[in-house]
Structure 1
Amino acid sequence: MSTKAKRQRTSKVRWARLAMVAASILLLLLAVVLAAKWFTGLAGTALFLREFPGHSQAPTGSAVGFPAWIGWQHFLNVFFLVLIIRTGWQIRTDTRPKGHWTRNNRGLIRTKKAPTKISLYLWLHLSLDALWILNGIIFVILLFSTGHWQRIVPTTWDIVPNALSAGLQYLALDWPTDDGWVNYNALQLMSYFVIVFIAAPMAFVTGLRMSALWPKQSSKLNRMYPIEFARALHFPVMIYFVGFVIVHVALVLATGALRNLNHMYASSNEDNWVGFWIFAASLLVMVAAWFLTKPLFLGPVASLTGSVTR
């Protein structure tokens, strides 16, 4: 069999497997929806759903609406996160880097040992990490200084049964009462709390442990926080972010796309197309950035802070 025929056969097998996986996922989702509809129809479940409708009472005096800073924070967070995932995957799969970067050993950041040479993808990944963390710090400061923290931080224990109720309603495709402009439902609130205050810090501390910034000469610190532990957590955290983004975008589009996009991008509670067009423009920016993460384009930028070699 010729090389071309082997490649064609391998391609057909790969596509057949992908089709089988896609079909299996669709069948599984259908089974989950049917099971959820049956379960929510039971008398005991119906009583539970009436007692816990899926949202907790908003704290007295909590902020209403979405100020403009949440819109640009949301865009920057998504922009950096998409590229961090992109470069993280490139680092994981790139066996022969097409370019390297070495930090300039002068000025304020000066060390006795020669700086370590790293791949351009790793340089971009670390640079994006720093910008994402800075953006996150600004977000948390604004969140607590404006009172908007009450929208994504649980303040009562009934958030747990209400989150379970909202989850059942989502699975049954019977969307829980949605008034995100005033108060998120319990599952949304818990999801945002986890992503901001648990998943994001985990991504930071595991990434820091694997980076060149970690004091590798400190045997005590290395024993307390082994690099194997950080590596074991870092990739699953990335998968969690990917899953969160997929589910988040799907629900935004399925539960009132125009109003949801206006909330996030236009600071408006109207049912018009302003937020959609801002969202569309942001997608174009992210797609362009996605394709620009190549050594040909990264080299000139990286050379501003160090030397770039093959």
Structure 2
Amino acid sequence: MLMSPAPAWTKAPWFKPTVTAVGAVIVLGLLVLLARWLRSNGEVSHFIATYPGHATLHGDASVGIPAWLNWQHFFNMFFIVLIVRSGIQVRFTTRPQGYWKRNNKGLIKTKGQPEKISLALWFHLTLDALWVLNGLVYWILLFSTGEWRRIVPTSWDVFPHAASVAIQYASLDWPLENNWVNYNALQLLAYFVTVFIAAPLAVLTGLRMSGAWPAKAPRLNRAYPIEAARALHFPVAIYFVAFVVLHVFLVLTTGALRNLNNMFASNDGEGWLGFGFFVAAIVVIVATWFLARPLFLRPIASLTGSVTRN
């Protein structure tokens, strides 16, 4: 029996995104209904009362968010957004609008001719290097100031507290927040995974795919094949996108002014200073997003190598 062909409108560009969006809304709606049903259960209600959402902090954990963390937050946001943008360009652009080749001069030299890469890949790798440098500064400050105690789990009760927070978020009856003193357990785990698992994975997989990785190291390359790096790198990028989107959504819906003051103005007030810094940060990121075009990238890239159109 011959099957009738699918209607023409199912091949329209808007069809798949629309179906995906509708499916996501349905799934989220079912998740909310499930969470609210769970909260109506006496045992689950008792569990949430016992574990309201904030895990036990390390005894020496500090109170408040230091100014250096505000700057680190901005730079991380700036680099991650542009790294994702440039990474998408590298992955899906078939005809680059320019190429860059490193001059074989200076401290780092290679045998033979340096490899020519697309301008988009040069921009992506440059952002990667700056993000890694920023991350090293962050790690140094994190451990030298003791701020690590706020994002590293130090007690097993973080897991039941995190499960409780997940149910509360899903039911749309959200837990009380006090980020100035203690992140909720789900936040703590998310920050820990981002800083100590996702970020190193992004660096290690990106390094494996870059030209800096030694080509003539058969044992090392067999132990860590480039196919494994490629299989991990894109999902890690998706994780960062999902983290940023969810993070921004929760910041703006769980007390925006106070959260933005915590993150951008190093205070726990309800004023508009943090919001002003946040808007300025968004303006800088959006401006850089639109200026990151070959017209503006070529003169910058030419400072470190030769730039050609083909």
Query: Normalising by structure 2, what TM-score?
Result: 0.95
Does structure 1 conserve the Cα–Cα contact (< 8 Å) formed by 2:162 and 2:184? yes
Q: Which residue number in structure 1 is paired with residue 307 of structure 2?
A: 308
User: How big is each residue's C-alpha offset from its partner over 1:137-168, in whole Å with a ceiling of 9 and x where there is no partner?
Assistant: 10011011111100000000111111111111
Q: Which residue number in structure 2 is paired with residue 60 of structure 1?
A: 59
Written as runs of structure 1 = structure 2, the 5 A alignment for 1:259-278 is: 259-278=258-277
Written as runs of structure 1 = structure 2, the 5 A alignment for 1:97-112 is: 97-112=96-111
Does structure 1 conserve the Cα–Cα contact (< 8 Å) formed by 2:56 and 2:158? no
- CA RMSD between the two structures: 1.4
SS of the residue 2:75 aligns to: helix
Deviates more, 1:105-114 or 1:154-163: 105-114
Q: Which residue number in structure 2 is paired with residue 6 of structure 1?
A: none
CA distance in 1, matches of 2:94, 2:227: 20
Q: Which residue number in structure 2 is paired with residue 69 of structure 1?
A: 68
SS of the residue 1:131 aligns to: helix
CA distance in 2, matches of 1:112, 1:59: 52
Does structure 1 conserve the Cα–Cα contact (< 8 Å) formed by 2:51 and 2:161? yes
CA distance in 2, matches of 1:58, 1:92: 42
Q: Which residue number in structure 1 is paired with residue 135 of structure 2?
A: 136
Could you tell me which amino acid in structure 2 is paired with residue 215 of structure 1? P
The count of corresponding residues between Structure 1 and Structure 2 is: 302
Q: Which residue number in structure 1 is paired with residue 150 of structure 2?
A: 151
CA distance in 2, matches of 1:224, 1:10: 48
Q: Indicate how the Cα distance of structure 1 residues 264 and 292 shifts in structure 2: closer, same or farther if over 3 A, else same.
A: same
Q: What is the CA-CA distance between 1:20 and the residue it aligns to?
A: 3.1
Written as runs of structure 1 = structure 2, the 5 A alignment for 1:175-194 is: 175-194=174-193
Q: Which residue number in structure 2 is paired with residue 127 of structure 1?
A: 126
Could you tell me which amino acid in structure 1 is paired with residue 276 of structure 2? W
Could you tell me which amino acid in structure 2 is paired with residue 79 of structure 1? F
Q: Which residue number in structure 2 is paired with residue 299 of structure 1?
A: 298
Query: Normalising by structure 1, what TM-score?
Result: 0.95
Written as runs of structure 1 = structure 2, the 5 A alignment for 1:20-59 is: 20-59=19-58
Q: What is the CA-CA distance between 1:47 and the residue it aligns to?
A: 1.5
CA distance in 2, matches of 1:45, 1:214: 51
SS of the residue 2:55 aligns to: coil
Q: Which residue number in structure 1 is paired with residue 211 of structure 2?
A: 212
Could you tell me which amino acid in structure 2 is paired with residue 140 of structure 1? W
Q: Which residue number in structure 2 is paired with residue 165 of structure 1?
A: 164
SS of the residue 1:14 aligns to: coil
Q: What is the CA-CA distance between 1:12 and the residue it aligns to?
A: 9.1
Q: What is the CA-CA distance between 1:229 and the residue it aligns to?
A: 0.4
Q: What is the CA-CA distance between 1:22 and the residue it aligns to?
A: 2.0
CA distance in 2, matches of 1:125, 1:269: 36
SS of the residue 1:106 aligns to: coil
CA distance in 1, matches of 2:300, 2:10: 37
CA distance in 2, matches of 1:262, 1:72: 13
Could you tell me which amino acid in structure 1 is paired with residue 204 of structure 2? V
Written as runs of structure 1 = structure 2, the 5 A alignment for 1:75-114 is: 75-114=74-113
CA distance in 2, matches of 1:271, 1:107: 51
Q: What is the CA-CA distance between 1:187 and the residue it aligns to?
A: 0.5
SS of the residue 2:180 aligns to: coil
Q: What is the CA-CA distance between 1:50 and the residue it aligns to?
A: 1.6
Structure 1 runs, 4 residues or longer, greater than 6 Å off: 9-12
CA distance in 2, matches of 1:12, 1:237: 30
CA distance in 2, matches of 1:216, 1:27: 48
CA distance in 1, matches of 2:172, 2:124: 38
Q: Indicate how the Cα distance of structure 1 residues 17 and 224 shifts in structure 2: closer, same or farther if over 3 A, else same.
A: closer
State the percentage of identical aligned residues: 58
Q: Which residue number in structure 2 is paired with residue 4 of structure 1?
A: none
Q: What is the CA-CA distance between 1:296 and the residue it aligns to?
A: 1.1
Could you tell me which amino acid in structure 2 is paired with residue 290 of structure 1? W
User: How big is each residue's C-alpha offset from its partner over 1:234-263, in whole Å with a ceiling of 9 and x where there is no partner?
Assistant: 000000000001111111011000100000
CA distance in 1, matches of 2:141, 2:284: 25
CA distance in 2, matches of 1:29, 1:94: 33
CA distance in 2, matches of 1:141, 1:112: 35
